[in-house]
Amino acid sequence: MDLTAELQQQVQDAFHSRTALNIIGGNSKSWYGREAVGEPLAVAGHRGIISYMPSELVITARAGTPLAEIAEALDEHGQRLPFDPPYFAASATIGGTVACNFSGPRRPYAGSCRDFMLGCTILNGRGEQLHFGGEVMKNVAGFDISRLMAGSLGTLGLLLDVSLKTLPHRQAEQTLVLDADFAEAIAIMNRQASTSLPVTAMCSDGKRVYLRICGTPSAVQRSMRDINGRIFEGGKHFWKALREHQLPFFQTDTPLYRLSLPPAARFAPLSGTTDSDWFIGWGGAQRWLKSTLPFETVHAYAAELGGHARLLRGGDRSGEVFAPLPPALMQLHQRLKQGFDPAGILNRGRMYRCL
């Protein structure tokens, strides 16, 4: 169903009245970012696959299209979204996924949601319809605005439709497990990342390191011999549970932090935490922490290790939840916001207080 005209009128009315709008799709990721403000703007009804060209590996869909609907259409042709997007709820939409730039365990080895953005159509804060990019990989001369929308949390524009690159399903898959504490797991994961083996996911719970291998049957068998780990029979369920935060580690009301660090950064538990408060993914680059420690403390710890932190879920969402930006970079964000949304009506303050 195409609701472009209705949505455009709503945004134009809000622009003239300076009314803040809270963009809501499937509402599966409402916990992400700072607290939402403004009048609800429902976009879930703006849905449907506009075009799908399996031979060209590209799909275009309206922002309210459920992820499940897209996955079903791709699966009929043996294809998938390469960045392995998490759903977090059955109502998850492709627009919300792109707006959050969410990717699954495959992200370090295949790329992020942003990397597979080919084009999009948006409504800016004036209610003007703008189209960026196209339906092929090399479609942009200069700055790629469509990729700018990935991860902007709806603060720069209301997504109407997105075009994404697809890839074929893997031919074979196997998960191996090795006993290792966090320090040993980081060493193992970094060692495997330096090889040519078709590893597509690695993580550690502090007791074991898990490695997913995908490729041709012969490549998977050869990799299994080289790694020499135990076969983990529940591999497919495990990686899906990790992607959807359904593993026991994530079943908690304690605030959840996500730290982005260099993969080889040492594991040194933050004061006040224990090994059971941590989970490592993305081959060492993504580290989850369950803690009631202040955001500033966790971010300072991540910065010391060469990365940054964000408060992903829970905790105080009235303050800042993303890593502070250097003044020059924040000014760039503010200029972009002013250019796309001069009245500041779109998802006001969802990313940073001043945006």
Q: In what order do the strands lie in the sheet with 117-123?
A: 49-53, 58-62, 158-165, 117-123, 129-133
Q: What span, in angstroms and rounded, lies between the C-alpha atoms of 199 and 231?
A: 14
Which residue would you say has higher pLDDT here, 113 or 136? Answer: 113
CATH entry 3.20.20.70 includes domain 4-168+335-340: no
Using one digit for the tens of pLDDT, what is the confidence trace for 15-69?
999 999 999 999 999 999 999 899 999 999 999 999 999 999 999 999 999 999 9
Determine the pLDDT at residue 141.
Answer: 55
Q: How far apart (Å, rounded) are the C-alpha atoms in residues 270 and 323?
A: 17
Q: How crowded is residue 36: how many other Cβ atoms within 10 Å of its Cβ? A: 21
Give CA angle at 246 (245, 250), nearest 5°: 60
**pTM, entire model:** 0.93
Q: How far is CA 104 from the centre of its chain?
A: 7
In this prediction, residue 185 has a pLDDT band, given cuts at 50, 70 and 90, of: very high
For the chain, the domains span: 4-168+335-340, 171-252+254-313
Q: Rounded mean pLDDT of the chain? A: 95
- How do beta strands 172-179 and 230-231 pair? antiparallel
- pLDDT exceeds 70 at position 139: no
What's the pLDDT at 178? Answer: 97
Q: Is the pLDDT of residue 118 over 80?
A: yes
CA distances (Å), origin 331, targets 149, 158, 175, 328, 336: 18, 22, 45, 5, 9
Q: What is the rounded average pLDDT of the residues 284-301?
A: 96
Question: What DSSP character marks residue 28?
Answer: S
Statement: residue 138 has pLDDT above 60: no
pLDDT higher than threshold 70 for residue 88? yes
Give the three-class secondary structure for 260. strand
DSSP-assigned states of every residue in 198-229: -EEEEEE-SSEEEEEEEE-HHHHHHHHHHH--
Is a pLDDT exceeding 80 seen at residue 137? no
